Structure 1
Amino acid sequence: MTLTADSTSPAADHQSEELQVKTSSSAILRFVLLLVFSEVIVSQSIVKTLPGFPGDLPFKLETGYVAVGERDEVQLFYYFVESERNPTDDPLMLWLAGGPGCSALRAFFYEIGPFTFNYENSGGNQPTMELNPYSWTKIANIIFIDQPVGTGFSYANTSEAYLSSDTISATQTYEFLRKWLVDHPKFLNNPLYICGISYIGMVVPIIVEEIYNGNEAGNEPQMNIKGYMLGNPLTDKNRDVNSRIQYAHRVTLLSDELYKSTKANCHGEYVDVDPNNGLCTSDLQDVEKCIEKINLPQILEPLCDTSHVNLSLLRWDRSSLEENSMDPLWSLPLLPEPGCRDFIYNYATMWANDRAVQKALHIREGTITEWLHCNHSIEYSFGRSATNAYTFNVPNTVGYHRNLTNKNCRALIFSGDLDMRVPHLATEKWIKSLNLTVESGWKPWFVNNQVAGYTVSYTHNDDYSLTYATVKGAGHTSPEHKPSECLAMWLVDHPKFLNNPLYICGISYIGMVVPIIVEEIYNGNEAGNEPQMNIKGYMLGNPLTDKNRDVNSRIQYAHRVTLLSDELYKSTKANCHGEYVDVDPNNGLCTSDLQDVEKCIEKINLPQILEPLCDTSHVNLSLLRWDRSSLEENSMDPLWSLPLLPEPGCRDFIYNYATMWANDRAVQKALHIREGTITEWLHCNHSIEYSFGRSATNAYTFNVPNTVGYHRNLTNKNCRALIFSGDLDMRVPHLATEKWIKSLNLTVESGWQPWFVNNQVAGYTVSYTHNDDYSLTYATVKGAGHTSPEHKPSECLAMVDRWFAHYPLWFLSVRRRLIRATVLCRHITHQEVFVALEGLQHSLLNRCGMLNKESKKMFQLELYRG
């Protein structure tokens, strides 16, 4: 790879040649990158305890500084919290606060971070903290950064370095991220998202574009950028503020008459107003009277009576919920009740200015005089082009958003619908100006079965997608007002699937795992875990369920399919007392019979008894153990070239095609496989594979003997189950599956009967119910083995299609019969016919009174047919 120092790197002064590196070793990569950045200073410390929280932190918190700028004179402070779920695979999120000049602790304590303050139990000068149940760190690695310089605990070594701007802030943040990733190479492959709220909408799109451009230019490290997320983002300073008049009218803060007059007299322009337009000016004064006592960041919350609050509809000021800060360090007993949101931010001020806290956070002594929630010397107010320390040099970022539509990128934009700081109307307007294709139209999204807001999704050129969502009842900082909803919004990385019926499915050994997963989902929903999953049930094919009994049933199955004589079966059953697994070694008669049984079946292909047993060195079938020859668990070790492969008539060999394909570098690149993460793709990893009687391998413990109890627990849930068995499978014979199903003592809803595909018997089915809410459908698949969808694809597709649609499997050519029935009775709808097919035939027939006797008989035959 080629490493090139960019213009922001101090190494650019003395490095004139590109460094050539021909190794993928992360250690060497890190060393070379440190050479490129030359004077990079990245300091980091692990924080194990914090004042105000009892005991050790239950998550990994790291704090530190990253030096950026032409001479590393700017020291940006950060808090990094590793994901509490899976740090290796979960996304890496860079979170930036707005203002500009508002500290990362704003998000850390009040929005998406791991802590919140316990207002009831805080007292004196020491706020107490408690864990935030809706922290986004539960599912993402998050870097909270104090930026730009002069924010929070970030500082500069020279007075000149304190000067910043929108573009400088973006460039320095990009530099920060590059250096941070060099110092934390294990997160280089995590999906990366750049996120924030409020004014940061003027900076994040620039950062994201810099990352994509840097990747394309070959800058190292290459970042696994996936997209960005912005909440209530300032995007077009004039138009965002201009939209407040329309929003105020929509939420009934302005009368129809005043709105119409203002709109007409001001020609829809309420920002750049002609001072000679007296009618417009007069109307705007009346507007101001209507809204001056409204809390713009959340119009339904009280406006706090503090000296620094100076709300105005037509300017951006410090009273924004995100940008508010109280200057006096009052002791906590003097603070008002936290019902007024502005005051609760003082808890962070008290906490962060405590010397013990700063010591715990490893703050460099003497680098700041006082921690401020928001640094007003660099804060934006509408119409302001610059302060002494910051230049607001980006008027709008719509162009950056438009550029990103040509990247392989995902965007999530959300707006609290009670925010008048940046009204959702303005956000929706610039999104529409991008001229994207609507993928999924405007509709509600839900949390806990309640409308959480409304959403619409867009696409462009297949690679770009944008999801826009309103957050119902939220203001300018949506995660603060609606934490559970916003966590669900982020957690569901594809929010359009949140309400889809969810089924957990699999085949073979996964029968030992799926019931546990399903029970965890139901229990999690009942406990209020987010996101609430729309779990409907589960589906299992030829599932291993009770390891001993499933294997034990093979003797009976072998007899049923005439692999054993009546005499040998009766003798074995009698001598072994029906137990063929835990055999008494002193029982010579049983042992002798089992040896004879083995001779009868050792050359039979257990996963599909009618298919040939492939002659490969690693195939070692045995009736009484679970081994690698299972159709689902088979793998060929040698990577033979395809011309040397036998004809695909022997199923074992055709799996080599997948092995050849998946180990092809071009394939892995197309699949976006992380380079260097595996040495070889294996069809099945035998180091963790199950064999009967095995309790563990070096890497996997088989600690669940059977899952019948989990199935029984699920009968008390609002749940549907489909269990199917290939009738030619002796790996997990259908007899064993039918036996544990019967042990659940369910009520038979529809007795044993054939089900059809293309007018041919596809198998047999029986359905059960329990307490009205639970149903289980069991089906055999005629002619199929251990992996039924592989052997009988059309039949299995028909089976799951009918089951998902809540139709009995025994429907015979449903669509054809539907057409016939509706032809006979045209004024009955398709839906009514389906209802009839589910058991309400008589009421439907009464609707067809106009038919003559013969037609009515034909109609009834069509409904009952099959």
Structure 2
Amino acid sequence: MVPILLFALVSYVNSLVPEDEIRNLPGWNASLPTRQYSGYIHVDSGKTRFLHYWLVESEGSPSSDPLVMWMNGGPGCSSLEGYLYEMGPLHFMDDTPNQTHPQFVRNPNTWVQIANMLFVEAPIGVGYSYSTRGSEDLKTNDTRTAQENLQFLLNFFAAYPEFKENDFYVMGESYAGIYIPTLVDQVRIHNENLSNKINLKGFMVGNGCIGNAVGACSMHDGLAIRLKFSYEHGLISQVAYDEVIKKCGDGLKNASLACEVAMSEAYSKTGNVDIYDIYIPCISNNPQIDDEQLVWRIGMPEDDRVRGLATCIDAGVSTSYLNTPEVRQALHVQPESVIGRWRMCSHIPYDSNIKSLLDIYPTLIKQYRTVIYNGDVDGCVPYIGNEEWTSGLGFPVKEAWRPWMVNDQVAGYVTTYDVNNFTFITVKGSGHMVPQFQPVSAYAMFERYIKKEKF
């Protein structure tokens, strides 16, 4: 789908990878549970564009356990959210920002119990990732991001050849629903044409986008999906919902002033409900968070803020922590004076140029073990949209919608298709970031996937 990069693989310039090992992590007053590495890998032939990575070795058997690459979305949001708030080995003890280092505690549901985890801040301009040519070199799109993510992998495995034979998986959430399949397709093309193959076995996408013209991250489809979800979850009234359908038409295709008014009126009485999890408190007034983080909507048009639920992102602790000089030094990243402040989400100049991934999914599903999962109380990328497109691929159903269990309780619902065990899963009571909002269920889902067990 996307042409692979034309320049040849160049060995990673920093051959002293041991220098990337994290020796001391502020806020953790003991030896790290397993070895961790943080640093940069270049993604261009001129060695001017660098992606930041944070690698955590498995607590099991690093030499044989799988390697999992994790990406968050945006576009523009840092995958360190995954480490610090979702499946990383250490989480903040206190979620109140302060001027001293917050303390870490062990995450009992960390995915590194059974896998090596590789957190990558992509694309360039996100988090600590940077270009030596400055902000004028940050403009990118879906195509270029996929190409550079492939080049990252090639250079990563050149730097860490000990992981080259491990089973490899790509996982992530939200706008990574674009990053992941496009990267997987790049790997597929690379493996068909070149000898230094990547041992990719499968991928998982959580609460993910499917393109800029279809699904929850498109304009009309996205508005229609979120409107239906909001109505069915009691956030807007039947009268208001019926008025929107009357003025906007089926699928909200009839754009007009009357439609805009009806839409605004429908959402005007919802109050401050968190779009990422409609059943948790909305916390978004932290003075440590930049204004751009407060208004950022993953996979949604910026002007959609007036026509939907509230954006509640509380990243104050991570923002404060990751911008202290001693933390940046411990992580071997460039100082703030060189690349600017770390932000949870950055407004990079990004063109979402892929209209739909529905044309490549059948090919990927047949070749790689694929799971699409969704928290069922996410109002940003509601499960109803992802259930619709996964069933719409037309694959024969192997096992219809049924509950899956964790600790003798329903953890969600699963549908399995008779093509390479392609699976759609919901996670009960979870919002947008499933490993954060339902960590026990998320780990159970991950473990069963990695161990090829039934959900």
TM-score (normalised: structure 2): 0.87
Who is 2:105 aligned against?
130
- Residue type of the partner of 2:111? W
- Show the 5 A alignment for 1:687-706: none
> Is the 1:94–1:193 Cα contact (8 Å) retained in structure 2?
yes
Within 1, Cα distance between the matches of 2:340 and 2:450? 44
Equivalent in the alignment of 1:441: 400
DSSP 3-state at the match of 2:181:
helix
Superposed, which structure 2 residues align to 1:259-408 within 5 Å? 259-270=241-252, 272-275=253-256, 278=258, 280-291=259-270, 293-304=272-283, 306=285, 309=294, 315-317=300-302, 342-343=313-314, 345-365=315-335, 366-375=337-346, 377-378=347-348, 389-405=349-365, 407-408=366-367
2: CA distance, partners of 1:229 / 1:363: 29
DSSP 3-state at the match of 1:293: coil
Equivalent residue for 1:529? none
Match of 1:201 in 2: 177
2:430 to 460, 468, 474: 474
Q: Aligned residue for 1:453?
A: 412
Does the CA-based 8 Å contact 2:58-2:65 persist in structure 1? yes
Q: Which amino acid aligns with 1:396?
A: S
CA contact (8 A) 1:49 1:360 kept: yes
The separation in 2 between residues aligned to 1:421 and 1:491, in whole angstroms, is: 26
Instruction: Name the CA distance, whole Å, in 2 between partners of 1:312 and 1:152.
Output: 17
- Counterpart-to-counterpart distance in 2, 1:401 and 1:229: 12
Residue 254 in 1 paired to residue 236 in 2? yes
Looking at structure 1, the residues matched to 59 and 11 of structure 2 have their Cα atoms a distance apart, in angstroms, of: 34
- Kept in 2, the 8 Å contact 1:288–1:312? The answer is no
Distance (whole Å) between structure 1 residues aligned to residue 295 and residue 129 of structure 2: 28
Superposition deviation, residue 199 in structure 1: 0.9
Alignment of 1:713-792 (within 5 A): none
Q: 1:139 to 1:498 in 2, by over 3 A?
A: same
2:439 and 2:37 map into 1 onto residues whose CA distance is 24
Which of 208, 212, 221 lines up with 2:188 in the alignment? Answer: 212
Residue 8 of structure 1 pairs with residue 34 of structure 2: no
Q: Residues 65 and 161 of structure 1: is their aligned pair in 2 closer, same or farther, counting only changes over 3 Å?
A: same
Partner residue of 1:46? 21
- In 1, the alpha carbon distance for the partners of 2:343 and 2:407 equals 37
Conserved? CA contact 1:98–1:200, under 8 Å: yes
Q: In structure 2, how many angstroms separate the alpha carbons of the residues matched to 1:409 and 1:240? A: 28
Gap regions ≥5 residues in structure 1: 1-5, 12-35, 321-339, 379-388, 500-866
Contact 2:277 2:432 in 1 (8 A): yes
1:242 aligns with 2:224: yes
What is the match of residue 409 of structure 1? 368
Q: Counterpart of 1:173?
A: 149
CA apart distance, 1:281: 3.5
* Correspondence 1:95 to 2:67: no
Contact kept in structure 2, 1:417 and 1:470, CA below 8 Å = yes
Aligned length: 431
Partner amino acid, structure 2, of 1:351: Y
Aligned-partner residue type, residue 286 of structure 1: E
Deviation at 1:498, TM superposition (A): 4.8
Are the structure 2 counterparts of residues 146 and 466 from structure 1 closer, same or farther at C-alpha, using a change threshold of 3 Å? same
CA distance in 2, matches of 1:127, 1:264: 52
For residues 191 and 246 of structure 1, the distance between their equivalents in structure 2, rounded to whole angstroms, comes to 40
Matches of residues 63-212 of structure 1 in structure 2 within 5 Å? 63-119=38-94, 124-159=99-134, 160-212=136-188
* Residue 390 to residue 43, structure 1, CA distance change in 2 (3 Å): farther
Equivalent residue letter for 2:416: S
Normalising by the residue count of structure 1, what TM-score does the alignment of the two structures yield?
0.47
Distance change >3 Å, CA 48–CA 496, structure 1 → 2: closer
Question: Would you say the 8 A contact 2:177–2:205 is kept in 1?
Answer: yes
Higher relative contact order (Cα pairs below 8 Å, separated by 6+ residues)? 2
- 8 Å Cα contact 2:374-2:426 kept in structure 1: yes
Tell me, yes or no, if the aligned pair for 1:261 and 1:283 is still in contact at 8 Å.
Answer: yes
Task: Confirm or deny: 8 A CA contact 1:10 1:39 kept in the other structure.
Answer: no
Query: How many angstroms does 1:257 deviate by?
Result: 3.2
| Alignment match, 2:444 | 488
Tell me how far 1:451 sits from its aligned partner: 1.0
Please say if residues 244 and 263 of structure 2, whose CA atoms lie closer than 8 Å, have aligned partners that are also in contact: yes
Higher radius of gyration, 1 or 2: 1
The aligned amino acid for 1:8 is L
Which letter does structure 2 place at the counterpart of 1:453? G
Q: Deviations over 1:136-192 (max 9, x none)?
A: 111111110111001111111114532211111111001100111122222122111
Q: Pick closer, same or farther for the CA change 1:173–1:350 going to 2, 3 Å.
A: same
Partner of 2:288: none
Change in 2 beyond 3 A, CA 1:367/1:7: farther
> CA 1:240–1:285 in structure 2 vs 1: closer, same or farther (change >3 Å)?
closer
Residues 202 and 396, structure 1, Cα contact 8 Å, conserved in 2 = no
2:377 corresponds in structure 1 to: 418
* Equivalent-residue separation in structure 2 for 1:74 and 1:47 (angstroms): 22
CA contact (8 A) 2:37 2:55 kept: yes
- Distance verdict in 2 for CA 1:352–1:249, change over 3 Å: same
Shift of 1:242: 2.4
The CA deviation at 1:115 is 1.0
Q: 1:290 and 1:268, CA in 2 relative to 1: closer, same or farther beyond 3 A?
A: farther
What is the DSSP-based 3-state SS (H/G/I as helix, E as strand, rest coil) of the residue aligned with 1:247? Answer: helix
Structure 2 counterpart SS, 1:399: coil
Deviation, 1:370, is 1.2
Q: Which residue pairs with 1:221 in the alignment? A: 196
Whether the 8 Å CA contact 2:10–2:45 is kept in 1: the answer is no
**Uncovered stretches (5+) of structure 2, i.e. residues with no partner:** 286-290, 306-310
Contact persistence 1:152–1:371 (CA under 8 A): yes
Cα pair 1:452 1:485 within 8 Å, conserved: yes
Q: 1:354/1:314 Cα in 2 relative to 1: closer, same or farther (>3 Å)?
A: closer
Relative distance call for 1:59 and 1:319 in structure 2 (3 A) is farther
SS at match of 1:436: coil
Distance 1:294 1:482 in 2: 19
Distance in 2 between the 1:425 and 1:257 partners?
Answer: 22
Supply the AA of the counterpart residue of 1:413.
I
Aligned in 2, Cα 1:199/1:472: closer, same or farther, shift over 3 Å?
Answer: same
Q: 1:364 to 1:43 in 2, by over 3 A?
A: farther
| CA contact 1:127–1:350 (8 Å) conserved in 2 | no
- Deviation of 1:374 (Å): 1.2
Paired residues of 2:209 and 2:299 also in contact (CA < 8 A): no
- The aligned amino acid for 1:84 is E
CA contact (8 A) 2:175 2:299 kept: no
CA distance 1:62–1:416, change in 2 (3 Å): same
Amino acid at match of 2:60: R
**1:97–1:431 CA distance, 2 compared to 1 (3 A):** same
CA–CA separation in structure 2 for the residues paired with 1:10 and 1:120? 45
